[in-house]
Structure 1
Amino acid sequence: MKHVITAFVILLASQASASQCKMKSPEEISKETEIAFVGTVTLIEESTYKPSNLCWERSEKAPQCGGKLVTLKVSENLRGELGSSATVVSEDGCYCLGSYWKVGSSYLIVAKPNDTSVPGQVMAVNGCSGTGELSERTQPIVKVLRSAKP
């Protein structure tokens, strides 16, 4: 039984660490998105948010892991109105498919309202649904969100 459990845990870890999710198309993301904006990270704090008990905790091997509360200066509202700054609750950046946050970097945030008791205005969706540092991967999503503004 011990070997079965060990094999199961290794299988889960290997699948999760590979960040195996299928990236949605910019059009799919646009149709599903309630809140989206472009912003620059001004502050990163630890959060008690844990989307799954399978996520890594902070450790010597992965100090950036764990739930985050990220404050961003909003430069462009694409969906919804958040004002000049927003706080975003995020999954960890390890194998729970969240972003690795960097102060001073600009991101596309695709989010939903935060309906948890964890502090933060909105809850970022995972990287396969659009959230991520502004790059060649996120620019097509931004373009579609801009053209499809309600």
Structure 2
Amino acid sequence: MLIARRADTRARADFATWKMMAKLNGLSALPADAQGFLAGYKNLLERTSEAEATEACIAEVYKAYYLEMGGGGNPPDVRPRPAEPVADNVTAFRRPAPKPKKTRTFGAATFGGAQKRPLPVALIFACLVVVYVSIQYYWR
């Protein structure tokens, strides 16, 4: 099955590349087998729709690649099967409950609950100055 998946992936990628090169007038740069597959694709395109012709040509390229990669017998069907309908398990979006507003504190009085005040910048700076001066004093 691993060989079949690789062959199918390679066939789909190569066919898309070949088709694009043919549209860009680069058909002569393709290998002979690619040119043969594209000629068969053009013949199929005259008789069927583009989607059917594409799938039929990819199937032929897939068979060739499967045998080339060492697969034996007829290649297994690796095309993705249509997915079964899934029960709707999506929940509706709900806006989260609003967070309570932060309370403000002024000195000893608090409004709306107790909250710690952050250290003011001046106090932190003063502590750093004290540490710096004490280190300088200690080293002398």
TM-score, structure 1 normalization: 0.21
Larger radius of gyration: 2
TM-score, structure 2 normalization: 0.22
- Structure number having the greater helix percentage: 2
Report which structure shows greater RCO (CA 8 Å, sep ≥6): 1
- Structure number having the greater strand percentage: 1
